[in-house]
Amino acid sequence: MAKAVEVGQSVHPLTALLVRDGLSATRYLKRIDQVHQALGFGAMAVRREKLTRWTRKGVTPERPALLAMASYHGIDLADVDRYGWPDFLYRALNDDCVVLESPWTAAGTVLSLTDLGGHVDRRAFLITSTGALGAIIAQWTTADPSLALPATGRRLGTSDARLFELRLDALRHLDDTVGSEQVYQGAVFELQMIRDRIENATYTEETGRRLFAAAAEASRLAGWCAYDEGRHAAAERHFVTALRAAATAQDPTLGALVLGFWANLRYNAEKSDPRGALHLIDAAMSDRKKISSPRVRAMLHARAARAHSKAGESTAAYGHIDEALAAYESAEAIEADLPALYWLSRGEIHQVAASSALSLGEPRKALDHFTAAATQEDPYDTEREIRGTVIYEARRAEAHLALGELDAAVAIGHHVIDAMGGVDSARSTSTLADLRTQLRRHQHVPTVAEFLSISA
């Protein structure tokens, strides 16, 4: 039988399938051989060394074997080409049922809190289709918030819930300095502790709601960190769980925050889904009077602007930037607002406006907003937001490049490399890769060639 896999460990999808089905390499290959012959491809060798070779990086089985595996696992044969090897096998790993199909009740939320990201790292995959988002939103708006309070266990009070809130606040700020990989582990650990208290302690309804709100924030933070690492399937699972917990906590502002972060994932995914992102944002804003935080409203408008820019809709994009700035003007000091949005500033909104303008093919307008982000009152915090600075600076270089200003683009590119020395982020690495791709068209220029060599 295949060796067991630790939760959260990154494994080859073929290995994960053998573990799930309890099959040895030889038994699995014999079954694939039967399908191979039934498809008219003839007999196939069933030595276990074959499977070992298939799970090595850079090795792709012959096409008949790929089709036989797809057929055996019930995968659409078109997905073999659509996703390639070994990614098409992820279509057979349906390990999202607990998060997606549990009832939207307090008991269903607790059940989803036990499902911490799945056994397989599916990287850029999303677990929900654009159509499925509608069903999730409908369930969120009609979720049953009733709490069945435990009858036995140690008594918890509001001070205990406050301790979890303080620990989560510290984790949010640690994310700025130690990076998403370590903070992800911390957020999952917090989620496990909170779930244990929800299940095994006694408390009032008020304390219970705060515990579920803390669970929602821990799961949202885990989702953000998974997204930053490029693990989109895990991120979506955490965002759905966070939305469930926010509903049980009866906290529409927290639910709107979760939807805003989830929307960010949808339009930035490898297969960008701006329509799905806008669907999530529209749901969050559908009853904006219930959103107690002006910063959350500002963030949602900023995310809507970015989604519209990805869809090529300039009027809507810039309109939402104006709405974001207007909402931010009504925000109180962060001490009186949602702590999770400590990073939002006018500078951040201008950075989003700049990125939107760049996506819309307006590099000069993008540079104006990049400048405003750094120079106006309440600027973007480049000291704290190192990862964001890397991403936005790389985009600023792209804007200069689009205007034919090679020297400026390369100079900023060098600053990006220097800043990345302390950054652990798949998003930052991807953004630099995009800049390098655009600069390769000018690799005959000595300064560009030098940069490409240094940044390789």
In this structure, of 80-84, 87-91, 186-190, 271-275, the range with the lowest mean pLDDT score is: 87-91
Taking only the tens place, the pLDDT of each residue in 261-301 is 999 999 998 889 999 999 999 999 998 789 999 999 999 99
Taking only the tens place, the pLDDT of each residue in 313-332 is 999 999 999 999 999 999 98
DSSP lists the bridge partners of residue 75 as: none
Taking only the tens place, the pLDDT of each residue in 304-315 is 999 999 999 999
pLDDT for 426 beyond 50: yes
Q: Given this model, what pLDDT does residue 5 score?
A: 35
Mean pLDDT confidence for 333-353: 94
pLDDT for 231 beyond 80: yes
Q: Given this model, what pLDDT does residue 455 score?
A: 84
The two tokens of residue 204 are 């009032």
Q: What is the mean pLDDT of the chain?
A: 88
pLDDT for 422 beyond 90: no
Mean pLDDT confidence for 414-428: 79
In this structure, of 15-24, 131-140, 344-353, 378-387, the range with the lowest mean pLDDT score is: 15-24
The model's pTM is: 0.79
pLDDT for 198 beyond 60: yes
Taking only the tens place, the pLDDT of each residue in 107-163 is 888 878 876 555 445 555 566 777 788 889 999 988 988 888 888 889 999 999 999
pLDDT for 252 beyond 80: yes
Q: Given this model, what pLDDT does residue 117 score?
A: 52
pLDDT for 8 beyond 50: no
Q: Given this model, what pLDDT does residue 125 score?
A: 59
Q: Given this model, what pLDDT does residue 380 score?
A: 94
Q: Secondary structure of the chain in the HEC alphabet?
A: CCCCCCCCCCCCHHHHHHHHHCCCHHHHHHHHHHHHHHCCCCCCCCCHHHHHHHCCCCCCCCHHHHHHHHHHCCCCCHHHHHHCCCHHHHHHCCCCHHHHHCCCCHHHHHHHHCCCCCCCCCCCCCCCCHHHHHHHHHHHHCCCCCCCCCCCCEECCHHHHHHHHHHHHHHHHHCCCCCHHHHHHHHHHHHHHHHHHHHHEECCHHHHHHHHHHHHHHHHHHHHHHHHCCCHHHHHHHHHHHHHHHHHCCCHHHHHHHHHHHHHHHHHCCCCCHHHHHHHHHHHHCCHHHCCCHHHHHHHHHHHHHHHHHCCCHHHHHHHHHHHHHHHHCCCCHHHCCHHHCCCCHHHHHHHHHHHHHHCCCHHHHHHHHHHHHHCCCCCCCCCCHHHHHHHHHHHHHHHHHCCCHHHHHHHHHHHHHHHHHCCCHHHHHHHHHHHHHHHHHCCCHHHHHHHHHCC
Taking only the tens place, the pLDDT of each residue in 43-64 is 999 988 998 899 887 899 999 9
